[in-house]
Amino acid sequence: MRVSLLAYLLALWTCMSYAGENATDTRPGIAPDIREDEAQMKLQRGDFVVVPIPISNPSLDTGLVAGAAYFYKQTEEQKKAQPASVTALGGMYTSNDSRAFALAQQNYWKNNTWRFTGAIGAADLRLSLLAPSESPDGQSLDWRIYGEFVFARLSRKLAGHWYGGFNLRTVFADQSFEAAQTTADFDLGSTVQSSGVGASIEYDTRDMPLNTYSGQYFTADALFNDEALGSDKTYQSYSLAFRSYHELSESLVIAWELRGCIREGTTPLWDACTLKLRGFPVTDYLGRETASGQVEARWRLNKRWGLAGFAGTGYVGNSFSEIRDREAIPSYGAGVRFMVLAAKRINLRIDYARSNDSDAIHVSVGEAF
């Protein structure tokens, strides 16, 4: 999870947008019975859904995300070919007085040949900056970020399950610390506008995005922020991820993931690379380059309840040679799953994770990857 405001704000509506997917689990046995969720499914067919989501993580403490989504009506042919287009509005508040809201739009056209994702929002986040390279004597700093953002992506099917597209992102961020700081690694200016355009490529064979049993997912993104586009700073962002899911039995799924991130140029601190692992605050490990991997076993005990165990490792630094020389950062733990909407496989996830000398409880909707 990136420190980026975009990462926090898009989380407000990701779950709602996936709830609009038309794939439905109809398998017998331990698989959920759709009839048990008939009332909930009627909400989706009735176009309007309200979703309260409890959250807990070491960066923002505990809180609640409240979201509402309107799913546009489809013909029978459209239901077979593509997800429903959706407009979503979400708000978040946590116990450390962080708050955010976002308005998002997701559209599908021409039998899923074209896809559009757009979002606008704002956040006021209160974090602790623990990265030794950014804190004097390795001490924690109170880090407050206020920001507003606009994001848009237009993608087209290239062939088979491959999509290619273009991205546009503008972020206005105002950050403050408990003491004035300077660093050669990142720009710590109090007010920064970041504007960029970029490209993305995606491969997706997952059966359901929010809780996948089988399939693969690959994505690679490049974003170029430049003064010619209205950005205060010139820098480049690159990221890629690959995930693979294997259903070994009716009750057991093994999933694994690899991730990489690179930042070049005068990068704002709030847009640094971070490790998308569990067990520590996202601000513990910031760098220009990160690499990580994790594996997770997911057991379905019955139609509603499940267990998970996971382990991963990551590296962070400001260059490849620095990453290579540093010790790996571990992440491991276990969790409980409760399926709140069985027909769409939407889980409430509660994980306990450890990493070195820290531990954390993560509560969210949907799997970690």
pLDDT tens digits for range 170-193: 999 888 876 555 454 665 667 888
Give the CATH number, domain containing residue 204: 2.40.160.50
Range of the domain at 339: 5-365
Question: Which DSSP state fits 4?
Answer: S
The amino acid that residue 144 corresponds to is R
Give the contacts of 18 (CB within 8 A, at least 6 positions apart). 208, 209, 210, 344, 346, 366
Structure tokens at 48: 């309007």
> Range with the lowest mean pLDDT among 254-263, 329-338, 353-362?
353-362
Distance CA 135, CA 165 (A): 38
222-243 pLDDT tens trace? 999 999 999 998 999 999 999 9
Closest to 124 (Cα-Cα) out of 56, 60, 196: 60
* Region 318-333 average pLDDT: 85
* Region 300-328 average pLDDT: 89
Closest to 172 (Cα-Cα) out of 196, 188, 155, 148: 148
Would you mind telling me the total number of residues written for the chain in this entry? Answer: 369
Q: pTM to 2 decimals?
A: 0.82
284 backbone dihedrals φ, ψ, rounded to 5°: -70, -35
Task: Please answer whether residues 104 and 118 qualify as being in contact, where contact means their C-beta atoms are separated by less than 8 angstroms.
Answer: yes
Taking CA atoms, 128 is separated from 175, 209, 280, 329, in Å, by: 12, 31, 12, 19
Share of the chain above pLDDT 70, in %: 81
On the CB side of 122, CA atoms within 13 Å amount to 4
Domain count, the chain: 1
If you average pLDDT over every residue of the chain, what do you get?
Answer: 83
Q: Is the pLDDT of residue 298 over 90?
A: yes
Structure tokens at 129: 């900056």
Q: Determine if residue 113 is left, alpha or beta; phi over 0 gives left, psi from -120 to 50 gives alpha, anything else beta.
A: alpha
Distance CA 361, CA 135 (A): 25
Structure tokens at 365: 């909707």
| Concatenated DSSP letters of 126-144 | EEEE--TTTSGGG--EEEE
Share of the chain above pLDDT 90, in %: 50
